[in-house]
Structure 1
Amino acid sequence: MSPQSLFRRVAIAEAVTWALLLIGMFLKYVTRTTELGVRIFGMAHGVVFIAYCLAVLFVAVNQRWSARIVLLGLVSAVPPFMTVWFDRYAERRGLLAGGWRLVAGGETPRSAPERVQAWMLRRPGLAVVVAVVAVAALTGLALAVGPPVPAKS
């Protein structure tokens, strides 16, 4: 799987979960029929949101994105469907071109993030486990912190 295909899959998944969450919100707040959609799709969207943010960081290391591009990629997860826009934007500018440069026999890692990425690329099965654990841990942290609370007036 190339950086582009990994990024595209996660970007589309993030947009799909946004759509499902919006449907759930419509059912909860407009038709007042059920809260189930928000509970289920809200959790799914939260998990995929975190996975998307991690994918941005992982691909950014490989592609040597500037801090500005990384920030744009991360911020694109906030408005609905903007991850798909960012994917197209990055593709048009060649920001997703090429393969994984730190695979075995590839470039030598020069920084801590590159060493982590090289380790993961050389052990794909274990990398999937690490990624799932990272998403689960960050999701657990987000659940522990809870939603933002509006200021009392």
Structure 2
Amino acid sequence: MIKSFRSIALLEGLSLLALLFFAMPMKYMAGNPIYVKNIGMAHGVLFILYVAFAILIKNEQKWSFKTFIIVCLASIVPFGTFYIEKKYLQNT
């Protein structure tokens, strides 16, 4: 299950970066909102999967509540999931 979570964390982080640094500029500078719709939907699904897997992994890895909150909050910060992967998931 941890390998799946690592993959989801990577994809969720990449989708957030694509949304912020590609789709949003395309919407506001090029007037093309379709990228926000498509990438935003993918990011939303990956975000939900990330949080759901974090809940499942919390018990498996015996994370404290503080660690769990850090892992969840990292999903809303650009590059946050990459930090989580290095700090909490790499040695598992």
Q: Output the TM-score relative to the length of structure 2.
A: 0.89
- Pick 1 or 2: higher relative contact order, CA cutoff 8 A, min separation 6: 2
Which stretches in structure 1 are left out of the alignment for 5+ residues? 98-153
Aligned-residue offset at 1:55: 1.0
> Percent same amino acid among aligned pairs?
27
Distance in structure 2 (CA, Å) of the matches to 1:57 and 1:21:
25
1:50 aligns with 2:33: no
1:109-129 per-residue CA deviation (whole Å, 9 max, x = no partner) reads xxxxxxxxxxxxxxxxxxxxx
**Is residue 7–residue 87 contact of structure 1 (8 Å, CA) maintained in 2?**
no
> What is the aligned partner in structure 2 of residue 11 from structure 1?
9
For residues 73-96 of structure 1, the C-alpha deviation after alignment (integer angstroms, 9 at most, x for no partner) is: 00000112211111111146x5xx
Distance 1:90 1:47 in 2: 22
- Say if 2:47 and 2:75, in contact at 8 Å, map to a contact too: yes
**Aligned partners of 2:6 and 2:89 also within 8 Å:** no
Q: How many residues align?
A: 91
> 1:76 is paired with a residue of what secondary structure?
helix
Q: Which residue of structure 2 lines up, in the alignment, with residue 81 of structure 1?
A: 79
1:41 corresponding residue in structure 2: 39
Q: CA RMSD, aligned part only?
A: 1.4
Pairing 1:123-134 to 2, within 5 Å after superposition: none
1:54-73, aligned counterparts within 5 Å?
54-73=52-71
Structure 2 segments unaligned to the other structure (5+ residues)? none
User: 1:19/1:90 Cα in 2 relative to 1: closer, same or farther (>3 Å)?
Assistant: same
Question: Higher helix fraction: Structure 1 or Structure 2?
Answer: 2
Question: SS at 1:77's partner residue?
Answer: helix
Alpha-carbon distance in structure 1 between the residues aligned to 2:68 and 2:78: 18
The aligned residue for residue 29 of structure 2 is 30
**One-letter amino acid of the counterpart of residue 50, structure 1:** I
Choose the corresponding residue for 1:90, options 80, 88, 91.
88
Shift >3 Å, 4+ stretches: none
**Aligned residue identity for 2:9:** A
Match of 1:54, SS state, is helix
